[in-house]
Chains A and B, each alone.
Chain A
Amino acid sequence: MPKITIDGKTIDLPAGATILQAAQALGIYIPRYCYHPALSVSGTCRMCAVEVDKAPKLQIACATEIADGMIARTDTAAVKKARKDVLEFLLANHPVDCPICDQAGECSLQDYYMDYGLHKSRVAPEDKIQRSKHRAAGRYLVLDNERCILCTRCVRFCDEVTKTNELTVSGRSDASFIDIREGKSLDNDYSLNIAELCPVGAFTSRDFRFKQRVWFLKRIKSVCTGCAAGCNIEVHYNENTVYRLMPSPNPETNTWLCDRGRMTYKALQAGDRLRKAFVKKGSMEIEPAIRHAAHLLDEAARKTGPESVVVLGSPYLSIEDNLALAELAATSLKTSNLCLDFPREQGVKDGILINKDDAPDANGLKLLKARYAGLDQGALIELINSGRIKLIVAEARALSSLKEKLRELSNIETVILAVTKSDLDFESACVLPYAANFETEGHFVNYKGLLQKTTPSVAAPDGVKPLWTVLSKLSSCTGAPIRLEDAAELRERISEFIK
């Protein structure tokens, strides 16, 4: 393997590695704009220039392959000057409108200027080129060509990752600008990645725009529950509000994050977030609603026997919550009518990330099914058709597949567990809200069988509790308690499933 020395430190890497990669492996940071590890090398920003022994001029680290015995330096006067000069060129026609730019605080122009520039501007204000400032670019983005440094990461992303080719560079020389191709709209399923790839404030997220200064944001790693992919994310939040979701690259799951996944946090804030329970369309405090639900369960069991009650698990719920549902059926209600069978078609739908299965935990549910067995889907339908069922306890989206059937059989009552009103597409005797994934910890098994955990970042609305807590309370009001009173108990009970 070729051995290279950078700033006196030596490393050997496989042939084909670049100076930039070697520097990275040595812990030497080389500033860059156009380079991105997940995209092809364009070599155009010239920010990563380094000195290479015997080379007559500076070489760009992103495109220069290492050779055995190569000696490179990133700390010389020539390299420092080159970086400063590139920054001066990039800022020459830049509006420096940081006070109104959302990128401020995470902008490579700002950061590198502080690290490598610190020059006084030599451009007369009247010599600056004015460009278009806020062009709508698809559902989620705004394009500010004046702030653009033409690194073309965005163009390459659309060409190489989504392969949708919406973007191009129009014009030439200093009249070049990022453009949306004629007849196209920047509406691919991954468009928000562009806001993040953009090292400056040229592409910003319309969703995030003007909402929060990035330096106020706190960051915590979690897992997206928007589909079976199980993408790792970073939740950016402040003062009990989630502001955006970013990918937290993990070779096992994801480099990017889809737009739908990024928007999953909106369920927390939407007007249709359930903060109270509902009983027959009427709002009710949660505690009395739980007691009301218990009453419904008791009555059904008393009148028609425990076997007239069905409890459904859900591929949309964490292992914890499904465990609580299974326990509610087995321990508390003592009904054998538990269904944990939700066959889902899984696999990457678009060759990138999005999974055919929009539920995050079908595989976690399978683990519980192995332990609790229960009805399969066929038997469940048969049972419902038999007319022996009087009450169903289920999570809203899991119930959704049965809604037509249930409308036909109007004598079946439901106790529905839901986070938002929009998940409720079926009229219910009782709706109980519970804490969403950003508000509580939960384990999920993605389509590849990878067990992962979400981390809470914000608190649930007053009185809204994790589902396992809700179900535990419900069980205490009817039959035998399932004893999932606290996190320690829960952890012990699910330990056999999350080994």
Chain B
Amino acid sequence: MMEKILLKTEAADIEAYIKAGGYQALRKALAMKSEDVTAEVKKSNLRGRGGAGFPTGLKWSFIPKANTKPRYLVCNADESEPGTFKDRELILKNPHLLIEGLAIASYAIGAKQCYIYIRGEFAKETGLLSDCVNEASKRGYLGNNILSSGFDLNIAVHRGAGAYICGEETALLESIEGKRGLPRLKPPFPAVVGLFGCPTVINNVETLASVPAIIEKGGDWYSKLGAGKSAGTKLFSVSGPVKKPGVYEIELGMPFKKFLEDYAGGMLEGSKLKAVIPGGSSVPVLTAAEALKMNLDYESVQQAGSMLGSGGIIILDDKACMVETLLVLAKFYHHESCGQCTPCREGGGWIEKLLRKLEAGKGKEGDIALIYSIAENMLARTLCPLGDALAMPVMSFITKFRPEFEAHAAGNGCGKREAGSGKSTQ
């Protein structure tokens, strides 16, 4: 039986949420010692759902105990990666689950102020969350002396201004502080010097929404869901030529093949699976054969040569031109580079220009090797992961689909697209 936690109830309305047992986990948490709440989350083996998969309880415990400055919890709702749209779904369908998770996490780390940094384009979701925060405050789940526990918490919904880089946690902090969204040098890490120079925990929407169930049913229970080190359930957003694109919650460890067939409804008629980008557009691409062997958990996807990332699964079929697809990604990462550090600032545009020529059939011999080499020179050399987010797709696309690139370099295109038109010829 597949357990559902995140999309179990679909109750944007607080009454319905409460009726379904909502905010009981908060009541339970507030009766516990804050360190016991953290201990429970540690026990659950919950890992960050934003992409990095860092153990959540451990992250909370990095807040220095002796530091007397205010502490902040920041919810990263700046979901902007191409192919990833799970947090938006969660916010729309179950906003109070997130708010309850925020309240529990804030209690655990001792934060009295919490920020939800939400993607600028999410206008509707921003309004919904603001309303929900107000509703929750009215009923005493937020504000002063929550449920007579003596715990105070205020939540501010802060809407971003449209920069992908602000999803990087330190750029996000800069943005909340009113500065340009430039990633900070680490260390110091946000747990020590975060928002306004104070200890700060930054968690993804889905991560925080997983917390109430852990408190309600226990860390042990949660840790037994999923597959080993990949505990619990996870949302996967699947897009591309499948019958049922959308957001699905599954226990980690499900074979990708089963997910594709049973949840995404299989490939569209006439479409044949060619490649899969399993964790949002920044992770290495997998061939169909590689993808069909893997399970959807952190370890298995890594073994297959990619990363589980955010769980944004992009399906590519035999009609997709890999050069054009990579060009779309290169354009995105070039455009979204903050421009602060050298390799990412200079490499992205260079790769895009070369790919553009290649895609238009104007590439030169050696361009493929050059593109690969530029990506290689960006990899692991930048201040934040955005450089890698372009380098990894570039290197994997070229490695795994080289003949397509070579056909383009020879001026033959790939037969799938009219060269340079950007339009399908099919």
Is A26 interfacial (CB-CB < 8 Å)? Answer: no
Q: Hey, which chain B residues are within 8 Å of A175, CB to CB?
A: 339
Q: Hey, which chain A residues are within 8 Å of B293, CB to CB?
A: none
- Mind listing 21 A-B residue pairs with CB under 8 Å? A42-B185, A44-B340, A44-B383, A45-B341, A45-B342, A46-B342, A65-B187, A85-B377, A90-B342, A92-B350, A127-B350, A129-B349, A149-B342, A150-B339, A150-B342, A172-B337, A173-B335, A173-B338, A174-B337, A174-B339, A176-B340
Q: Hey, which chain A residues are within 8 Å of B350, CB to CB?
A: 92, 123, 127
Q: Hey, which chain A residues are within 8 Å of B361, CB to CB?
A: none
Q: Hey, which chain B residues are within 8 Å of A169, CB to CB?
A: 180, 339
Contact present for B370 and A86 (CB under 8 Å): no
Is B266 interfacial (CB-CB < 8 Å)? Answer: no
Neighbour of A127 across the interface among B180, B353, B381, CB < 8 A: B353
Q: Hey, which chain B residues are within 8 Å of A92, CB to CB?
A: 346, 350
Closest CB-CB distance, B172 to chain A, in whole Å?
A: 16
Contact present for A41 and B346 (CB under 8 Å): no
Contact present for A44 and B341 (CB under 8 Å): yes
Neighbour of B343 across the interface among A46, A63, A122, A150, CB < 8 A: A46
Nearest 3 Cβ contacts at the A-B interface: A176-B339, A89-B346, A85-B377
Contact present for A173 and B342 (CB under 8 Å): no
Q: A63-B185, A175-B339 are in contact. Are A122 and B370 (CB under 8 A)?
A: yes
Q: Hey, which chain B residues are within 8 Å of A63, CB to CB?
A: 185
Select from chain A the residue with minimum beta-carbon distance to B366.
Answer: A122
Q: Hey, which chain A residues are within 8 Å of B348, CB to CB?
A: 173-174
Is B334 interfacial (CB-CB < 8 Å)? Answer: yes
Select from chain A the residue with minimum beta-carbon distance to B333.
Answer: A173
Q: Hey, which chain B residues are within 8 Å of A88, CB to CB?
A: 377
Closest CB-CB distance, B161 to chain A, in whole Å?
A: 12
Is B249 interfacial (CB-CB < 8 Å)? Answer: no
Contact present for B342 and A174 (CB under 8 Å): no
Q: Hey, which chain A residues are within 8 Å of B383, CB to CB?
A: 43-44, 46
Q: State A149–B342 Cα separation when bound (angstroms).
A: 8
Q: State A43–B384 Cα separation when bound (angstroms).
A: 11
Q: Hey, which chain B residues are within 8 Å of A150, CB to CB?
A: 339-340, 342, 345
Closest CB-CB distance, B361 to chain A, in whole Å?
A: 16
Select from chain A the residue with minimum beta-carbon distance to B185.
Answer: A43
Interface size on B, residues (CB 8 A): 30
Closest CB-CB distance, B56 to chain A, in whole Å?
A: 22
Is A171 interfacial (CB-CB < 8 Å)? Answer: yes
Q: State A175–B340 Cα separation when bound (angstroms).
A: 11
Q: Hey, which chain A residues are within 8 Å of B340, CB to CB?
A: 42, 44, 150, 176
Closest CB-CB distance, B133 to chain A, in whole Å?
A: 31
Q: A43-B383, A49-B381, A174-B334 are in contact. Are A89 and B347 (CB under 8 A)?
A: yes
Closest CB-CB distance, A292 to chain B, in whole Å?
A: 67
| Interface positions of B from 306 to 357, Cβ below 8 Å from A | 334-343, 345-350, 353-354
Q: State A46–B336 Cα separation when bound (angstroms).
A: 19
Q: Hey, which chain A residues are within 8 Å of B377, CB to CB?
A: 85, 88-89
Q: A123-B350, A150-B345 are in contact. Are A172 and B382 (CB under 8 A)?
A: no
Contact present for B334 and A173 (CB under 8 Å): yes
Interface size on A, residues (CB 8 A): 34
| Interface positions of A from 81 to 106, Cβ below 8 Å from B | 82, 85-86, 88-90, 92-93
Give B residues with C-beta under 8 Å from A: 163, 165, 180, 185, 187, 334-343, 345-350, 353-354, 370, 373, 377, 380-383
Q: Hey, which chain B residues are within 8 Å of A123, CB to CB?
A: 350
Q: Hey, which chain B residues are within 8 Å of A89, CB to CB?
A: 342-343, 345-347, 377
Q: Hey, which chain A residues are within 8 Å of B334, CB to CB?
A: 173-174
Chain B interface mostly helix, strand, loop or mixed? helix
| Interface positions of A from 316 to 363, Cβ below 8 Å from B | none
| Interface positions of A from 104 to 133, Cβ below 8 Å from B | 122-123, 127, 129
Is A260 interfacial (CB-CB < 8 Å)? Answer: no
Q: State A405–B165 Cα separation when bound (angstroms).
A: 68
Contact present for A46 and B339 (CB under 8 Å): no
Q: Hey, which chain A residues are within 8 Å of B336, CB to CB?
A: 173
B337, B340, B342 pick with most chain A CB within 10 angstroms? B342
Q: State A45–B381 Cα separation when bound (angstroms).
A: 10
Is A57 interfacial (CB-CB < 8 Å)? Answer: yes
| Interface positions of A from 19 to 43, Cβ below 8 Å from B | 41-43
Q: State A56–B347 Cα separation when bound (angstroms).
A: 22
Closest CB-CB distance, B239 to chain A, in whole Å?
A: 25
Contact present for A176 and B345 (CB under 8 Å): yes
Contact present for B353 and A171 (CB under 8 Å): no
Q: Hey, which chain B residues are within 8 Å of A93, CB to CB?
A: 346
Q: State A86–B387 Cα separation when bound (angstroms).
A: 13
Is A373 interfacial (CB-CB < 8 Å)? Answer: no
Q: Hey, which chain B residues are within 8 Å of A45, CB to CB?
A: 341-342
| Interface positions of A from 162 to 188, Cβ below 8 Å from B | 169, 171-176
Is A58 interfacial (CB-CB < 8 Å)? Answer: yes
Closest CB-CB distance, B179 to chain A, in whole Å?
A: 11
Contact present for B381 and A85 (CB under 8 Å): yes
Closest CB-CB distance, B9 to chain A, in whole Å?
A: 40
Contact present for A174 and B185 (CB under 8 Å): no
Contact present for B349 and A86 (CB under 8 Å): no
Neighbour of A173 across the interface among B339, B373, B382, CB < 8 A: B339
Q: A82-B381, A122-B370 are in contact. Are A173 and B349 (CB under 8 A)?
A: yes
Q: A89-B343, A169-B339 are in contact. Are A174 and B381 (CB under 8 A)?
A: no
Q: State A41–B188 Cα separation when bound (angstroms).
A: 13
Q: Hey, which chain B residues are within 8 Å of A122, CB to CB?
A: 370, 373
Q: State A171–B349 Cα separation when bound (angstroms).
A: 14
Q: State A424–B349 Cα separation when bound (angstroms).
A: 60
| Interface positions of A from 200 to 239, Cβ below 8 Å from B | none
Q: State A39–B78 Cα separation when bound (angstroms).
A: 32
Select from chain A the residue with minimum beta-carbon distance to B339.
Answer: A176
Contact present for A174 and B343 (CB under 8 Å): no
Q: State A43–B370 Cα separation when bound (angstroms).
A: 27
Closest CB-CB distance, A39 to chain B, in whole Å?
A: 14
Q: Hey, which chain A residues are within 8 Å of B180, CB to CB?
A: 169
Q: Hey, which chain A residues are within 8 Å of B345, CB to CB?
A: 89, 150, 173-174, 176
Q: Hey, which chain A residues are within 8 Å of B370, CB to CB?
A: 122
Closest CB-CB distance, B330 to chain A, in whole Å?
A: 12
Q: State A122–B342 Cα separation when bound (angstroms).
A: 17
Select from chain B the residue with minimum beta-carbon distance to A174.
Answer: B349
Select from chain B the residue with minimum beta-carbon distance to A92.
Answer: B346
Q: State A171–B345 Cα separation when bound (angstroms).
A: 11
Q: State A88–B377 Cα separation when bound (angstroms).
A: 10
Given A43-B185, A92-B350, A172-B338, 14 more contacts at CB 8 Å?
Answer: A44-B340, A46-B343, A46-B383, A49-B381, A57-B380, A63-B185, A86-B342, A93-B346, A129-B349, A150-B340, A150-B345, A169-B339, A174-B334, A174-B337
Q: Hey, which chain B residues are within 8 Å of A56, CB to CB?
A: 380
Q: State A169–B340 Cα separation when bound (angstroms).
A: 9
Q: State A173–B386 Cα separation when bound (angstroms).
A: 11
Q: Hey, which chain B residues are within 8 Å of A58, CB to CB?
A: 380-381
Closest CB-CB distance, A177 to chain B, in whole Å?
A: 9
Select from chain A the residue with minimum beta-carbon distance to B343.
Answer: A89
Q: A49-B381, A57-B380, A122-B370 are in contact. Are A44 and B342 (CB under 8 A)?
A: yes
Q: State A90–B343 Cα separation when bound (angstroms).
A: 8
Closest CB-CB distance, B396 to chain A, in whole Å?
A: 18
Q: Hey, which chain A residues are within 8 Å of B380, CB to CB?
A: 56-58
Contact present for B339 and A171 (CB under 8 Å): yes
Select from chain B the residue with minimum beta-carbon distance to A45.
Answer: B342
Q: Hey, which chain A residues are within 8 Å of B373, CB to CB?
A: 122
Select from chain A the residue with minimum beta-carbon distance to B163.
Answer: A172
Q: State A57–B354 Cα separation when bound (angstroms).
A: 27
Q: Hey, which chain A residues are within 8 Å of B339, CB to CB?
A: 150, 169, 171-176
Closest CB-CB distance, A245 to chain B, in whole Å?
A: 32
Q: State A400–B165 Cα separation when bound (angstroms).
A: 61
Closest CB-CB distance, A365 to chain B, in whole Å?
A: 49
Q: Hey, which chain B residues are within 8 Å of A149, CB to CB?
A: 342
Q: State A95–B370 Cα separation when bound (angstroms).
A: 20
Q: State A149–B370 Cα separation when bound (angstroms).
A: 22
Q: State A58–B381 Cα separation when bound (angstroms).
A: 7
